[in-house]
Structure 1
Amino acid sequence: MSHPFPGLEALIPADAVLEKLADGATWGEGPVCLEDGAVLWSDIPGNRVLRWHPQDGSSAALQPSHFHNGHTRDEGGRLYACSHGERAVLRSDDAGQSWQPVATHHAGKRLNSPNDVVVARDGGVWFSDPPYGLIQPREGYGGQQEQPVCRVYRLDPETGEVEAKVSDMLWPNGLAFSPDEATLYVTDTSRTHDLVGHHHIRAYPVAANGVGEGRVFAVVSPGMPDGIRTDEHGHLWSSSGSGLQVFAPDGRKLGEVPAPEAITNLTFSHLEPFLYVTGSDSLYRLAVSVRGARF
């Protein structure tokens, strides 16, 4: 019997299927796993955060959400969210019951619309800041773009300072660290509004919280490399217009998990050997043979 996902035999069990858990979102995004086994995920145009639990099924966890997009958690279990509407990165210490802004400005000017977020082992909060919440009426409250360019920032956990780290991309979007945190991967989704824009993933060397010159790691097609994650062995798992695409640490495409809709984001469970995946209107689960490098 052949493997259902050629090239991914070492990463996905032979009997794995992309299992739909919930649907009904307008545009699904930002999955994150909680300690009780639930998954929170965003319905950005629906202005709500959805919750799926293996016993309770699907429900609305936060409405209105002020257009949450990406979510993550730190090693202590605290949740972080990117809010298009509040133009801020938020934190929750109570499993998403309440949220407080932790990053709203850089150099005295409001952020654009934070999109995706990851937390490093030292507690630094890295996030991307494209303009989607300003230019798309269904994904934010609009407003004037105050930052001259779209960047990736780091929120210092000690000082609270928001530091610009990547400034050479058009519209930075999804973020992921390599397992040793020596490389930061960033997707560019500027093709969504510009036919000559990008749909690639860039890799940046990181040392002592400084970021070196980036390079193109992989070009994703069809569609866009929106959300990304890495596994414990350094493979990069990317969303795309046709499903999940998986790349080796050297940028070679290993294989793909086809999906019936565009895939937008993903996260590894820290509790079980599963990958949770958001599509344009659905939440999926995929059994995997590896653990995530981060949450």
Structure 2
Amino acid sequence: MDIDRRALLAGSAALGAALAVPKIANAQAEPLGTQPSRYPDGAWEVLDPRFSKYMIGNTPLQRQWSGALWAEGPAWNGVGRYAVFSDIPNNRQMRWDEVTGTVTPLRHASNYSNGNTFDFEGRQISCEHSTARVVRYGRQGPPEVLAETFEGKQLNAPNDAVVHPDDGGIIFTDPGYGSHWYYEGNVRELELPTSIYHIDASGGAVTRLTDEIFKPNGLCFSPDYRTLYVADSAATHHPEPSRIIAWTVEDNGRRLTGRREFATLENGFHDGLRADVDGNVWAATGFAGEGLDGVHVYAPDGTKIGQIKTPEGCANLAFVGEHRNRLLLTASQSIYTIYTAAQGAHIA
């Protein structure tokens, strides 16, 4: 399977009409059509009875904003009640305000940043494509560089990151998408195998955890931090299907053991991942086609139990809001929200 990640998939008119919502005062949610949708919203699809408990029958999928070229990397800041996300080709980070519903520029010339997260001190961590770095923003001044090389070689193009609560160590993926074309970074030969790394919080040492993965993309911990899930979007550059790979987390993330395939996707690929408090994995999905793009939800045993369908391919997602029960989706050119009866397991 050969998928061109640059070829954005358009949502169909029929699906757009099915997901149509009215403009809401003071929310700046752009309508998907001229008429509101009949509840339950057509975005929901229950594939297994276990998913029914997470579906809310009287909530719509809302497009909050459009104007990106490829929206990515959302992370929730509970103190500021906003989410940061990246518009990679436009080389900027954007800010969605939960209170007003507005989207405004946060940083321009962001070094084509992709994934973002917040650590347990509220500092923003970003994965930069053009500089091939992982950085952390403090209270003021330029960002602190946390990782840019391994064994004397430049990183490929870090993609996404998570933070372990016990010691603040950071795990990040390095698939190299930001090195394949100028559209999302720089063009250069990859010096390192596509890998997953750990950054030690105390000394800053960078350790390779594994290179047993074709294109390590989005990642998340299980609710108890004992399992790490990583999306392998292999299909973009290899004759392999997209998969979600799981590892057992040892020593607060300094080692990964027991590699196993958690789920396989026949069409398209999974990108960003989030877990809910019940251990389900919510996987952003793009380039799979109409009726498949959006969010695929997997039970802890790896069974796909439900979907939330979007008019555009979905790159990433985050649970946001006071109760972390609202999904924010970065979907190609737009961002969407939908309330769920699930609750995100982690703060960012």
Report the TM range for the smaller structure's normalisation. Answer: over 0.9
The Cα shift of 1:72 comes to 0.7
Query: What is the match of residue 17 of structure 1?
Result: 60
Judge conservation of contact 1:221–1:240 (CA < 8 Å) in 2.
no
The Cα shift of 1:38 comes to 1.6
- 3-state SS in 2 of match to 1:9: helix
How many residues get paired?
292
Q: Give the alignment partner of residue 190 of structure 1, picking from 234, 247, 263.
A: 234
Q: Give the alignment partner of residue 77 of structure 1, picking from 115, 122, 127.
A: 122
Which runs of 5 or more residues in structure 2 are unaligned?
Answer: 1-38, 287-292
Q: Structure 1 residue runs of 4+, over 3 Å off?
A: 1-5
Q: Give the alignment partner of residue 214 of structure 1, picking from 256, 259, 267.
A: 259
Query: What is the match of residue 204 of structure 1?
Result: 247
* Distance in 2 between residues matched to 1:97 and 1:138, nearest whole Å: 27
Distance 1:135 1:15, change over 3 A: same
The Cα shift of 1:99 comes to 2.3
Deviation string for 1:233-277 (max 9, x for gaps)?
100000113111100000000010110010100111262421111
The Cα shift of 1:2 comes to 6.5
Deviation string for 1:203-257 (max 9, x for gaps)?
1111213211311111124311000110111000001131111000000000101
Judge conservation of contact 1:231–1:292 (CA < 8 Å) in 2.
yes
Deviation string for 1:91-110 (max 9, x for gaps)?
1123x985221111111211
Which runs of 5 or more residues in structure 1 are unaligned?
Answer: none
- 3-state SS in 2 of match to 1:254: strand
Deviation string for 1:10-38 (max 9, x for gaps)?
12322122211111100010011222212
The reply to whether residue 128 of structure 1 matches residue 180 of structure 2 is no
Judge conservation of contact 2:81–2:321 (CA < 8 Å) in 1.
no
The reply to whether residue 170 of structure 1 matches residue 214 of structure 2 is yes
> Quick check: 73-82 or 55-64, which moved more?
55-64
Judge conservation of contact 1:220–1:240 (CA < 8 Å) in 2.
no
The reply to whether residue 118 of structure 1 matches residue 169 of structure 2 is no
When the two structures are superposed, what TM-score results if normalisation uses the length of structure 1? 0.94
How much identity, in percent, do the aligned residues show? 34
Judge conservation of contact 2:285–2:296 (CA < 8 Å) in 1.
yes
* Distance in 1 between residues matched to 2:63 and 2:240, nearest whole Å: 32
Judge conservation of contact 1:222–1:240 (CA < 8 Å) in 2.
no
Query: What is the match of residue 35 of structure 2?
Result: none
Query: What is the match of residue 75 of structure 2?
Result: 32
Judge conservation of contact 1:278–1:284 (CA < 8 Å) in 2.
yes
Judge conservation of contact 1:173–1:188 (CA < 8 Å) in 2.
yes
The reply to whether residue 268 of structure 1 matches residue 268 of structure 2 is no
User: 1:44 corresponds to which letter in structure 2?
Assistant: I
The reply to whether residue 90 of structure 1 matches residue 135 of structure 2 is yes
* Distance in 2 between residues matched to 1:278 and 1:85, nearest whole Å: 21
Deviation string for 1:111-139 (max 9, x for gaps)?
11000111111211000001111112211
Judge conservation of contact 1:81–1:89 (CA < 8 Å) in 2.
yes
- 3-state SS in 2 of match to 1:145: coil
When the two structures are superposed, what TM-score results if normalisation uses the length of structure 2? 0.80
The Cα shift of 1:41 comes to 0.8
